[in-house]
């Protein structure tokens, strides 16, 4: 079974150089991550040239920034931490949109197109801590952080990193919007999840379904997402050689080293 990846999102913005004389500054820093680190901290506009000319280098830097932000967002995060996540994730969204094969090839139908190279590159650069930063943001109380993180995660999540949002879904005080966001992310992997991930997605599906049975909140959207997860998991049973019957390939076993914070022994990776 060939992996089914989420398609890239629509182009969201073009970042412009907003002050004269700034060109040399970013030109000198374009080969390092210094400019990106400073821009994410200060809110300085990242010129679109940097996100186009060496977008792989930019992604490497931005993934590293997300990795470094994890301590700031996991315990009593301040508003400034979410602003930095929004800036980093926003730049990643632009890079992904710029490299959308449908956009580059002028195709109306995305079926059969190659996977977005920016998504592949981000998956190469992003650590589990970087993905966890996005998961924290996707379930946060900050609306901008939730949106930007969700749109990045929905594109880049795969068999190698899905353990992170699964673990976050076991956080007992997760909000309705955050739960819905992370369930949506997990659903992306369900149709092509390998055995270990299939079992973990199935487990969090049952856990959440049982949890919401007697909920007095409006969880209709969440229940619809859960229903979609069930259908996407069950889809694998219609295939001749589904991934759910095969163990995770060795090059996709990053989750083997992941230490769950909330799931405990409910998140299992045995090989």
| Domain boundary residue, one of 94, 127, 156 | 156
CB count in 10 Å sphere of residue 86: 21
Res 19: pLDDT = 27
Average pLDDT of the chain is: 88
Res 5: pLDDT = 42
Statement to judge: residues 206 and 144 lie in one domain:
no
**Within its chain, how far is the Cα of 31 from the centroid?**
25
pLDDT of 106 higher than 90: no
User: Which domain covers residue 121, as residue numbers?
Assistant: 1-156
Rounded (5°) CA angle 178-179-181:
65
Statement to judge: residues 199 and 130 lie in one domain:
no
Statement to judge: residues 237 and 248 lie in one domain:
yes
207-246 residue pLDDT tens = 999 999 988 899 999 999 999 999 999 999 999 999 999 9
Task: Tell the burial category of 59 from Cβ atoms under 10 Å away from its Cβ (0-12, 13-18, 19+).
Answer: buried
Statement to judge: residues 149 and 210 lie in one domain:
no
| Domain boundary residue, one of 156, 172, 205 | 156
- Going by the DSSP 8-state scheme, the letter that residue 112 receives in this structure is T
Statement to judge: residues 35 and 152 lie in one domain:
yes
Please state the rounded mean pLDDT for residues 175-204.
98
Domain count of the fold of the chain: 2
Statement to judge: residues 11 and 135 lie in one domain:
yes
111: pLDDT confidence band, cut at 50, 70 and 90?
A: low
């Amino acid at each position: 079974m060939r992996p089914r990846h989420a398609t890239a999102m629509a182009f969201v913005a073009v970042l412009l150089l907003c002050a004269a004389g700034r060109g040399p500054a970013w030109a000198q820093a374009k080969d390092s991550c210094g400019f990106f680190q400073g821009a994410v901290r200060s809110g300085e506009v990242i010129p679109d040239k940097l996100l186009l000319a060496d977008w792989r280098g930019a992604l490497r830097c931005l993934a590293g920034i997300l990795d470094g932000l994890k301590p700031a967002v996991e315990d009593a995060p301040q508003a400034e931490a979410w602003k930095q996540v929004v800036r980093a994730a926003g730049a990643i969204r632009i890079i992904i949109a710029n490299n959308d094969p449908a956009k580059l090839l002028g195709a109306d139908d995305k079926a059969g197109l190659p996977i977005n190279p920016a998504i592949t590159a981000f998956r190469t650069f992003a650590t589990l801590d970087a993905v966890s930063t996005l998961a924290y943001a996707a379930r946060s109380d900050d609306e901008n952080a939730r949106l930007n993180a969700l749109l990045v995660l929905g594109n880049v999540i795969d068999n190698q990193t899905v353990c992170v949002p699964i673990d976050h879904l076991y956080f007992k005080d997760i909000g309705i919007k955050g739960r819905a966001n992370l369930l949506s992310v997990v659903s992306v992997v369900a149709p092509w999840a390998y055995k270990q991930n299939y079992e973990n997605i199935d487990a969090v599906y049952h856990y959440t379904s049982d949890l919401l049975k007697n909920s007095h909140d409006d969880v209709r959207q969440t229940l619809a997402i859960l229903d979609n997860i069930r259908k996407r998991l069950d889809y694998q049973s219609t295939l001749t050689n589904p991934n759910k019957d095969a163990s995770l390939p060795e090059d996709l076993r990053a989750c083997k080293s992941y230490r769950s914070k909330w799931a405990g022994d409910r998140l299992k990776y045995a090989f």
